[in-house]
Structure 1
Amino acid sequence: MAWILAQYYGAISIGNPPQSFKVVFDTGSSNLWVPSKKCHYTNIACLLHNKYDSTKSTTYRANGTPFAIQYGSGSLSGFLSTDEVTVGGITVRSQTFAEALSEPGLAFVAAKFDGILGMAFSSIAVDGVTPVFDNMVAQGLAQPGCQAIADTGTSLIGGPTAEVKALNQALGATALVGGQYVFDCTMLPHLPPVAFTVGGTTFTLHAADYVLSVSTINTYTYSRGNTQEGNNLHILT
C-alpha cells in the first residue's frame, strides 16, 4: 500500500488469534515494533493507531526489557515482548518485538502505518533482538537469499543542510521547520528539472518527481536537509 507515493507499508499480524497491523518494511533498521495497548495516554500517535494487546494472545510471552530507537524522522521507547508474527501468510514463532509506549513528536502521528518492521542486519538490532526475517530463515520458513542494497526506509531525497537550502532557494521554495520546504501549488508547472549524476549517469527529475502534493494550498518539496552540520551524506530514493 502507498500514500501520496511517500509512505509504503504492508499488513502483518501478531499473536494468536492474530492482531492486524500496517508496518513499513524498513531496510534501514532491524527491529519490529508496534504501538502497545499499555501506551501512555499522552501518546497521541499510539492512540490514533492499532495497538497490540498481550492479554488477548495465547502465544504471548513476557520479556520486559526496555527498548528505545531513534529514526531520522522520530524516536520511540517501550519494552520488548515475544509472540507469533505472521508476514505474507508465513508465521514466525517466538519472535521478539517492541511494544511502543512513547512516540514523541509529530512524525508518527499522521503516519498511515502503525509500526515498523526492520529488515536490516541483526548486527544493528537494538537490544540484540533477532530480526523477523532472520528468524524466518532459522526456522526453515524461507531460503537465504542473495545480498543487495535497497533503501525503503525513506521516501525523501536528502543532503547536507547548506546544499539543500541553496537548491530550494534556487527553486523558490519556502523553508519550514525540520529541513522541509513548501511551494505554492501554482508554481508546479513552472518548476525546472533537477538532475543528479551518479557514476556518470544523469538522472533527471521533473517537478512531479520531486514534489509531494499534500494539500490544495501548499505542496512539500522533495528535500529534507541533513541535520548534522558538516555531514556530506546524500540520500537518493
Structure 2
Amino acid sequence: MHCLHWLWLSLLVLCLFWPQSPGQLIRIPMQFQASFMASRRQHRAGRSSLLAKYNVVGGQEITSRNSGATETLDNRLNLEYAGPISIGSPGQPFNMLFDTGSANIWVPSADCSSKNLACQHHHRYNSSASSTFVPDGRRFAIAYGTGSLSGRLARDTVTIGQLVVQNQTFGMAMHEPGSTFVDTNFAGIVGLGFRAIAEEKIKPLFESMCDQNLVDQCVFSFYLKRNGSERMGGELLFGGVDATKFSGSLTYVPLTHAGYWQFPLDGIEMGGTLISQHRQAIADTGTSLLAAPPREYLIINTLLGGLPTTNNEYLLNCSEIDKLPEIVFIIGGKRFGLQPQDYIMRAMNDDGSVICLSAFTLMEAEFWILGDVFIGRYYTAFDVGHRRIGFAPAA
C-alpha cells in the first residue's frame, strides 16, 4: 500500500538520458509547479492516503562514490517529489513517485480502459513497442484507501540515468481507483522499501541495482528542497551520498525491521520538555506529513494551541506561528529539531482564504511516520547493505 498526494495539473517534459563517465552524477531536468499553495482538499487527501497505507502495519557515513546516478526531483507544493525513469527498449519515459514506504514498481498500461481517467492522463507502457518485454502472467493488485489498483506483472529493462536494470519485474496497471491518480504529476511509483513488504515478494528495483553491480555502494539518499515553487526540487542519489548536500556527519541508526525503513526513535522534546520516549519510526518519502501515535498527536497539537476540526486537522493562527516552539526528535542520541516553519503547512481554503495547519496527523498505532516535513530538513541516507538509516542537517 502506498501514500499518494493530490497535485495540480503537471507540465510535460522530455527526459534525456546519456552516457556519463564513471564518478559523474546524472542530473536530469524536471518540470516545476509555479504555484506554491496547496489546497485544503489536497492536504486532506494526503492524510487519507497515509492512513490507508499503514493500516496493516504491526505496532512494530558514506561520503564518496565511484559510480551512481542522481535523480533530480520535482517538488509539487511540498506534497510530493517525483523524477523520471524509462522502461523498455527503446525506453518509454515515465515521471515516477519515489517512495521509501513501499516496495513495488508499477506504471499505467496501454491496455488500460479508455474510461479510466487516471490512465488516460499519464503516459502508458506499451509492451508491444519494447523488444525486451517479457510477460510474467501473474496478476497483481495493490489496495488503496479509494480502491484497488490492479493489472498484470511483466519484466523489462528499467533505466534511471545511466543505470540500466535488466529483467526487472514491474506492474502494468490496467485498473486505477477513482480519482486517486488523476491529477498527480507522477504516472506510477518506484517503491524503495524492502522485499518483505512487496506484493508477490517481487525484488525491488534498488535491490536489482545492487545485485547487478550497477552501484558501488548499496546506498541511496534523498535531498529534498522545501520551497514549493522551487524549480529544482532536490535529488535522489543512487549509489552513495553527496556530502555537499548536508552539514556535519550523518548519524546512523540500525533498522528495527528490514521491511519499511523502520528505526528506533529515542524521544521527542517540545519546548524543552520530554513528551515521548522509546518509540519506533518509519522514514517515508511518499508522504509529506508527520504521523504521530494518539497520545503524542493530542499533546503536541494541544500545546501548539491548535483548534481541532471534524477532519482530524488542527488549525493554527497564522499570525502566531513565529511564537511556536522547536520540536526535537532524538535519534541515535542526537537532536534533530524542527522549527514552526517546518511543521506548519499553509493551505488554500475553499473560500480562497489562507489557513495554517499542523503537519502532525493522527496515526492509530504506536509508531511514528516521518515524511517529507522531516526528510526535507534532514538529508537522509538509506543504507540497504548495512540495514541502517542516517540523518544529517540538509545544506
Task: Please give the range of the TM-score, normalised by the shorter of the 2 chains.
Answer: 0.7 to 0.9
- Give the counterpart of 2:216 among 127, 130, 143: 143
Q: Is the 8 A contact 1:34 1:52 kept in 2?
A: yes
Q: CA RMSD in A?
A: 3.0
5+ long unaligned stretches in structure 1: none
Distance 2:123 2:344 in 1: 30
8 Å Cα contact 1:68-1:77 kept in structure 2: yes
Amino acid of the residue matched to residue 39 of structure 1?
A: C
Name the CA distance, whole Å, in 1 between partners of 2:204 and 2:153: 13
What secondary structure is seen at the aligned counterpart in 1 of 2:342? helix
Aligned residue type for 1:221: S
Cα pair distance change 1:88/1:212, threshold 3 Å = farther
The residue identity in structure 2 corresponding to 1:189 is S
- 1:45 deviates by 2.6
CA distance in 2, matches of 1:99, 1:116: 11
What does 1:152-163 align with in structure 2 at a 5 Å threshold? 152-161=285-294, 163=296
Take 2:103 and 2:300, find their aligned partners in 1: how far apart are those partners? Answer: 33
The percent identity for this pair of structures is 37
Contact 2:314 2:358 in 1 (8 A): yes
1:134 is paired with a residue whose SS is helix
Counterpart of 1:193 in structure 2 is 325
Matches within 5 A, 1:29-44: 29-44=102-117
- Which amino acid is the alignment partner of residue 198 of structure 1? I
Distance 1:44 1:223 in 2: 32
Asked if the contact 1:176/1:182 (under 8 Å) is kept, the reply is no
User: Mean Cα displacement is larger for which, 205-214 or 96-105?
Assistant: 205-214
Q: Matches of 1:109 and 1:164 in 2, distance apart?
A: 31
What are the equivalent positions in structure 2 for 1:34-183 lying under 5 Å apart?
34-70=107-143, 76-145=149-218, 151-161=284-294, 163-164=296-297, 167-168=300-301, 171-175=305-309, 177=311, 179=312, 181=313, 183=315
The whole-number CA distance in structure 2 between the counterparts of 1:77 and 1:198 is: 40
Q: Note if 1:234 corresponds to 2:368.
A: yes
Which has the higher mean CA deviation after the structures are superposed, 68-77 or 117-126? 68-77
Opposite residue 369 of structure 2, the aligned amino acid is: I
TM-score (norm 2): 0.51
Which deviations, in whole Å up to 9, do the C-alpha atoms of 1:100-148 show, x marking residues without a partner? 2233255433322221111222233211222212222222322342696
* Partner SS for 1:209: helix
1:55 alignment partner, SS class: helix
d(CA) in 2 for partners of 1:214, 1:13: 34
Verify: 1:7 aligned to 2:7, yes or no.
no
Tell me how far 1:157 sits from its aligned partner.
Answer: 0.2
* CA spacing shift, 1:203–1:140, aligned 2, 3 Å: closer
Q: Deviations over 1:160-217 (max 9, x none)?
A: 346535644653345364x4x2647xx3231323524425665543432123334353
Correspondence for 1:209 among 342, 354, 371:
342
Matching residue of 2:278: none
Against the structure 1 CA distance between its residues 22 and 146, is the aligned structure 2 distance closer, same or farther, given a 3 Å change threshold?
Answer: closer
Whole-angstrom distance in 2 between the partners of 1:213 and 1:15: 40
The answer to whether the Cα contact below 8 Å between 1:188 and 1:207 also exists between their aligned partners in 2 is no
- Relative to structure 1, is the Cα distance of residues 74 and 171 closer, same or farther in structure 2, using a 3 angstrom cutoff? farther
Match of 2:359 in 1: 222
Do the aligned partners of 1:25 and 1:153 also contact (CA within 8 Å) in 2?
yes
Residue 97 of structure 1 and its aligned partner are, at CA, apart by 0.2
Q: 1:143 to 1:212 in 2, by over 3 A?
A: same
Structure 1 position 2, deviation (Å): 1.1
The change in CA–CA distance for 1:134 and 1:224 in structure 2 (over 3 A counts) is same
Q: TM-score normalised to the size of structure 1? A: 0.80
SS in 1 for 2:86: strand
Letter in 1 for 2:292: G
Unaligned runs of at least 5 residues, structure 2: 1-73, 221-251, 253-260, 262-282, 375-395
